[in-house]
Structure 1
Amino acid sequence: MSATGWTLLLRLGLRRDRVLAPAGIGVLVLMSIASAAATPSLYDGPAERIHAAEAINASPAIVALYGPILDVTSEGELAMTKMTVLYAVFAAVLFVAVVRRHTRVEEETGRTELIGGTAVGRDAPLVAAGVEALLLAGVLGVLTALGNVIGGLDAGGSVAFGLLWGGSALVAAGIGLLTAQLSASARTCAGFAAGAIGVLFVLRAVGDTGPQWVSWLSPLGWNTQVRAYGDTRWWLLLAYPLLALALAGGAVLLRSRRDLGAGLLATRPGPATGSPRLADAFSLAVKVHATTLLLWSVAAAALGVVFGMIAPGVGDLLDNATAQSIIDELGGALVSAILSIVAVVLTYFAATVVGHTARDETDGRVEIVLATGVSRTRWFAATAVLALAGTAWLLVVTGVGLWVGYVAADGPGIGNLVTAALAWVPAAWVVGALAALCLALGARWAALVWVWPAAFLTLSLLGDLLDLPGWLTGLSPYAHVPLLPAASWDWGSAGGLTAVAVVLLGVAWWRFRARDIG
């Protein structure tokens, strides 16, 4: 194994991730703090907390999504219900993205080959990416533990919870290192990693709602079995680094068996001639992102159905006046709260489209397209239209899924759930337009496309938690969305947000047409 120069690559990687890593880790930690601080105030005493925990365990849909509460008397386990498994998945996605960025993406663009022409060793990029993931996982674990203590939870349990989050991140990094060896395409690598995480989540869900031994096959199942805020199984925390080390070792072994820039799985050649339909910029954009949009659509539908099935049972969890008043302040219904989070997640589809276009520019593919009969305006418009229309489509799919799940669970009538999902479209368009503006400013601004959704979500959460001034929380477009179906449709809000999106797109187009490509 030749890893000469890995420290230089580590420093470079940390510099390149100076926005992505702090933003992602910061949002995760803030979400954990918010949950730790808010949950105790929902219940008047231990009896109500135990009742809520038992109600969660009695709902197979909730257990499949969040995992069970093994110690119903534990305040910490109740507070961290969503964080233990579901938000650990979000942490896993962040770490896969970081590892993939410094391994497969670098090879795909040819930069690894250039670096390899110097004194840097063959395995240095792999080692640097692994060490960076280890450092970031440590930061995530420490900050999460401190944040939960600040939020009022037990110190020992908070340390255990921080360790299991850091361990989950390490396992995800190992998955990223391993899948980076399989395909020469960064997009396919991301698909393999997402599929692996999805399988682990499903195994955990099956084990938590059926044969319990199945959940032990998944590191996400270990998150619950650690019992961070109960009778903590400290020995189980050792399994995370051991599995991560095994995955990293497998990645090094596979790296030695393939050529630089290639994958272990052969790339399927495309057709000898392209379709005439691809002569249009929009058709080309749809072709490039068709698989991504399909996967996002399936995920949005599945989320909608699952959350729709959970929603009718929320009354069992919130049958006291204090809890109900807090939920009323947050939107009056669980569906409104669900959509407020799902809408932010789906906005990342627009970020994905714009971010891919930015990479096309830095890699020189945009110049090839513009050398044909495609104008700058058509090329830019294709990206913007696909990003915004795709996000609107995903929200519609989510609304339909919510309706299907809600009806299947025999929930009482609460209004049109598709309309409730559509209410978030203008806000999502504003964030998508900001991403397009980043693209228009230049490739070096492209990293910000991933920051806007998380920043606005964090602002909304902190606004409720810290009682921030209205003008400050009002900077988030999500703050101006009427929380349907608990509230009524507001044409003024929808029109105003749409107008802001149009103005931002106009400024983006004006700036883009005046700057140099690349």
Structure 2
Amino acid sequence: MTSTRRAPARGGGTDTAERTPAAAPRTDSGGGQHSFVGTGTLVRLALRRDRLMVPIWLGVLFLLTIMSSLSVKDLFGSAASRDQLAGSAGATPATVAMYGPSWDVGTLGGLSTWKMNTMGTVLLGLLSIFVVTRHTRGDEEPGRLELIRAGVAGRYSALTAGVLVALLTNVVSIPLVGLGLMAGSVGAGPSFGYALALALVGFVFTGLAALTAQLTESSRAANGIAAAVLAVAFLLRALGDTTSQISWLDWLSPMGWLVRFRAFAPQPHWWLLAPPVVALLALLVVGYLLAGRRDLGAGLLPARLGRPAASRILSGPFGLAWRLHRGTLLGWSVGFAVLGGALGSVSNGLDDFAASKGVRDMLRALGGQQALVDSYLSFCMALAALVVAVYLIQSLLRMRSEETAYRAEPVLATPVARLRWAASHITVATLGGTWLLMLMGLFAGLGRGGDDVGHQIGRLLGAALAQLPAALVLAGITIALIGLLPRWSVAAWGLLGLFVAIGQFGDLLKLDQRVRDVSPFTHTPTVLGGTVTATPLIVLALVAIALTALGLVGLRRRDIGAA
């Protein structure tokens, strides 16, 4: 066997191989301990990046909790008043569908958390989804994760960091919710028990986001799939609680687990804390298995191949904006169609509710059965306005993400002007929000049905579209933040949470009318069973236009990609 001598290095007697440091072991292969190396560093980076978003969301959750507990203590301090509430409003299908059964409304804690069952779950669920997706698929899509993985970072480090930060966020919510409930003279044990159950529901959606981040190549699609599952969870809980024949659907929803936990009952169902933990572990196992079997940058769901040549619609910024937003709009459209049909169908159950003599007397005092139905349907349209505001904020923040991902610069390097580029996103988002409200009115009318289904569709379409100007004010605020304070653009979510808090607890807290008027949703006239005036709608539209113009002026003057 012939040996091969290494040639000496030029200019010295040291071998080149001896002077070359050993190569670091690869960290992106299969399994093993190296697959998680760098997780701690990525956790610290994620915490720094989320230092604005997470505190804002948790602050809104704490504000909602403490306002709810203090208002209940002030207005329903006696057991008799709470029992009366549970026997009237708490028994209507509308409130049960929205907030859950009124089993424990007779207690201070049960009444304080009645609305938190839905609102708290949505807040923590969406926050968990956004955090996980942001630090996984959100970094992978523009190529940042590839640069991180090129260094000393393992295959599972980014996923683990995102999951850990989301779980930590839910853990931090426990003392916030617990202390917020205790402010209303609720016992510490039940308060923190409820806070723990709520956080565990957030754990479920953390695991769900870890799974959906492996399915698609787009962070928006991953968020959309997870948010759709959240909407289905609400729908399953609402249908199970309002329809005795399919009450078992309640057990399929994490929201149903929270409601049935009954933290303020004499004997809480502590065993219901186990299903969220099992669901989290199962979702994480599947998510990690999928993460280890796909290529970086790819998703498990195959991307559809494009045409050999771009269509003419992509020759301008409006076509590009439509291409970027159409998938998200499709998902939202399906959700609105299902939600509208379900809420419209629930209104038919009000006829059965009005059958008892006591309820008939109450309805007679309120203006009759039709007044109850109109009140419920008006509530559904107001709920749709809040959800459309969420869609508008999410869609318009796409402009900011296009900047930070350096995809806006190549477009603006062409003859496309800044205002034209921004107008394309604004137009698509505005038309999308209008379309969603139309779907809500159409399918709510179909769900209501009856012999005069055409009349019902017309009434509910008008009631739904009347909500558009208020939602557009949130769109204007988002555009103004993007143009003037791009670094604080995510504060639009916090302002939406503030408006929701004013709308939900303004009456209970007896807030001054000037405080209530801060929320644009306060000014929307009641179309169903009320007197409609165009003045507030015109004023809201003008405010939205002024905020949009202000944002566009700022966008035109500042640097693209500036913080």
Scaled to the shorter chain, the TM-score interval is 0.7 to 0.9
Shift in CA distance, 492/55, structure 1 to aligned 2, threshold 3 Å: closer
Q: 1:57-86 CA distances to partner (integer Å, 9 max, x unpaired)?
A: xx4x76565544556866654654443356
| Match in the other structure for 2:164 | 131
Secondary structure of the corresponding residue to residue 321 of structure 2: helix
Q: Does 1:271 align with 2:307?
A: yes
Instruction: Give how far 1:135 is off.
Output: 1.5
Stretches of structure 2 that go unaligned for 5 or more consecutive residues are 1-32, 368-373
SS in 1 for 2:141: helix
- Residue from 164, 167, 171 that aligns with 2:200: 167
TM-score, normalised relative to structure 1: 0.85
Structure 1 residue ranges without an equivalent (≥5): 326-331
| 1:362-389 superposed Cα distances (whole Å, 9 cap, x missing partner) | 2222222233343322211111222223
CA 1:253–1:380 in structure 2 vs 1: closer, same or farther (change >3 Å)? Answer: same
Paired residues for 1:251-330 under 5 Å:
251-311=287-347, 313=350
Aligned partner of 1:511 among 539, 542, 554: 554
CA RMSD in angstroms comes to 3.5
1:345 equivalent in alignment to 2:387: yes
Match for residue 428 of structure 1?
471
Compared with structure 1, are the counterparts of its residues 504 and 206 closer, same or farther at alpha carbon in structure 2 (3 Å cutoff)? closer
Tell me what 1:374 maps to. Answer: 416
Bigger CA drift: 21-30 or 404-413? Answer: 404-413
1:328 is aligned to none
Match for residue 136 of structure 2? 103
Separation in structure 2 between the aligned mates of residue 378 and residue 391 of structure 1, nearest angstrom: 20
- Contact kept, 8 Å, 1:49 with 1:78, in 2: the verdict is no
- Structure 2 counterpart of 1:14, one-letter code: L
Deviation track 1:244-276 (CA, whole Å, cap 9, x = no partner) reads 133223323332222322223332321121111
Which is further off, 362-371 or 479-488? Answer: 479-488
Q: Of the two, which has the highest radius of gyration?
A: 2
Say if 2:282 is the partner of 1:240: no
Tell me the TM-score normalized by structure 2: 0.79
Report the more deviating stretch, 208-217 or 451-460. Answer: 208-217
Moved more, 298-307 or 123-132: 298-307
State the Cα distance separating 1:428 from its structure 2 match: 1.7
2:209 pairs with 157, 173, 176, which one?
A: 176
Cα-to-partner distance string for 1:159-210 (whole Å, 9 max, x where unaligned): 2221111000011001111221222221232233234435545555565544
Give yes or no for the alignment of 1:365 onto 2:404.
Answer: no
Mean alpha-carbon deviation: is it higher for 300-309 or for 272-281? 300-309
Tell me which residue corresponds to 2:22. none
Aligned to 2:260: 225
- 3-state secondary structure, aligned to 1:27: helix
Verify: 1:115 aligned to 2:141, yes or no. no
Identity %: 37
Is the 2:442–2:457 Cα contact (8 Å) retained in structure 1?
A: no
In 2, distance between residues paired with 1:144 and 1:80? 10
Please say if 1:416 is aligned against 2:459. Answer: yes
Alignment check: 8 A CA contact 2:503 2:519 kept: yes
Equivalent residues in 2 for 1:7-18, closer than 5 Å? 7-18=40-51
Q: Cα deviation per residue 1:414-438 (whole Å; 9 max; x = unaligned)?
A: 9933333333222222211121122
Other-structure match for 2:21: none
Q: Determine if the alignment matches structure 1 residue 5 to structure 2 residue 38.
A: yes
What is aligned with 1:389?
A: 431
Separation (CA, whole Å) in 2 of partners of 1:48 and 1:134? 39
How far 1:472 moved relative to its partner? Answer: 3.6
